[in-house]
Structure formats: structure tokens, C-alpha cells
């Protein structure tokens, strides 16, 4: 058993409706520059702030779902405005998300892709978690050749995330919270 397969077993997996955007990464590892390093440092700070805010919004949401949803939407709005500002400065612009059902865990995601992505393809995945409206940006690799979905309109694609402890911690918290809600609803 490889470490990654035993590691995957440590995470719960749920089917969940999320807002999803993905794209295959085309940049090589050799494209690292000072600007990219600055962007990563700023991104790490913003990710930490976003993680703390999302944690607080999730706590508020358990006590008052309407207030939690409103705070989540405001956080999402700020993220979109930040994307627009980055776009104006030549950075990546805003992305459009597709609401879709995925199989989700702290170590990976399976979703219906529009195109067949070969095993080993590096993929950047942006996930909008519902109902908190928190956003995650994870990088991973396609782990198996995609299977055509029953409708024939896409490919069931499985991606294993590269290690990003902050983003994965937020994702695990979401999965556990959703699983708790599902268990409570089934009683």
C-alpha cells in the first residue's frame, strides 16, 4: 500500500453540491519568478485571513443560518472584487463557477469534467463551498483515466490534491460539518 492510498483513507468522503471551476495547468515548475513568489506570499496571507473568516462564518452559520449565509455572500463578494482588481493589474481575472455535484474529501475530488484529462495532468481546482460561500483553490493531479459518464456529456475525473495544509484543513472542516448535517437530517 502506498503512503498516498493509506493517507486517503484517513479522510471522510461525501457527495456534495459545490461551485466548481477547474483548468489544466500549462506552466512548468521552471516558470518561478520574483513576481510569482510575491503573489504566493500575498496569497498565503489572504488565504490565512480567509480561513479564519470562514471558520468564524461557519460558527455563526450553525447558530443563525441567515446571518451566516449573508456573511458568506459578503466574503464571496469581496473575493470577486479582489479577482477583478487582480485582473486589472494583469493577474488572473474572475472565473465562472459551475454548480455541480462532486465526490469530495480532504485528499481529493471526483467530478464531471467537460473534456478527458489524461492521468498525471496537473489541474487547478477552485471550489466554492456551500452554504458558507467560502472559496478554496487547490492544485492536484488526475489519478486515473477519466470514465465517460452515463449521459455521455462529460468524463468522471478523479483528482488527488497536492499538499496544501491550510486549504485542506478548511475542506476537511467542511466535509465533517456536512457529514454531521447529513447524519442529523437522517435521524
pTM over 0.95: no
Question: Whose CA is closest to 70, among 18, 135, 132, 136?
Answer: 132
Give the pLDDT band of residue 12 (cuts 50, 70, 90).
confident
- At 162 the pLDDT is 93
* Residue 76 located in a structural domain: yes
- Enclosing domain of residue 44: 12-186
* Residue 33 located in a structural domain: yes
* Residue 2 located in a structural domain: no
Q: What angle do CA 28, 44, 91 make, to 5 degrees?
A: 55
* Residue 148 located in a structural domain: yes
* Residue 7 located in a structural domain: no
Three-state secondary structure call for residue 115: coil
Q: What is the pLDDT of residues 48-69, one digit of tens each?
A: 677 778 778 888 888 898 888 8
Of 19-23, 43-47, 165-169, least confident by mean pLDDT is 43-47
> Number of folded domains in the chain?
1
Asked if the model's pLDDT at residue 93 lies above 60, the reply is no
Amino acid at each position: 500500500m502506498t503512503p498516498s492510498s493509506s493517507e486517503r483513507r484517513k479522510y471522510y468522503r461525501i457527495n456534495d453540491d459545490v461551485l466548481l471551476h477547474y483548468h489544466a495547468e500549462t506552466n512548468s515548475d521552471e516558470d518561478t519568478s520574483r513576481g510569482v513568489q510575491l503573489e504566493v506570499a500575498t496569497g498565503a496571507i489572504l488565504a490565512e485571513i480567509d480561513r479564519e473568516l470562514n471558520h468564524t462564518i461557519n460558527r455563526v452559520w450553525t447558530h443563525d443560518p441567515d446571518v451566516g449565509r449573508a456573511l458568506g455572500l459578503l466574503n464571496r463578494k469581496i473575493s470577486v472584487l479582489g479577482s477583478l482588481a487582480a485582473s486589472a493589474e494583469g493577474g488572473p481575472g474572475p472565473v465562472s463557477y459551475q454548480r455541480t455535484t462532486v465526490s469530495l474529501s480532504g485528499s481529493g475530488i471526483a467530478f464531471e469534467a467537460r473534456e478527458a484529462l489524461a492521468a498525471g495532468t496537473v489541474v487547478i481546482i477552485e471550489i466554492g463551498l456551500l452554504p458558507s460561500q467560502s472559496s478554496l483553490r487547490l492544485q492536484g493531479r488526475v489519478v486515473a483515466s477519466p470514465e465517460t459518464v452515463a449521459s455521455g456529456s462529460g468524463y468522471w475525473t478523479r483528482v488527488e490534491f497536492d499538499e496544501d495544509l491550510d486549504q485542506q484543513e478548511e475542506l476537511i472542516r467542511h466535509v465533517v460539518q456536512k457529514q454531521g448535517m447529513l447524519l442529523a437530517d437522517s435521524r
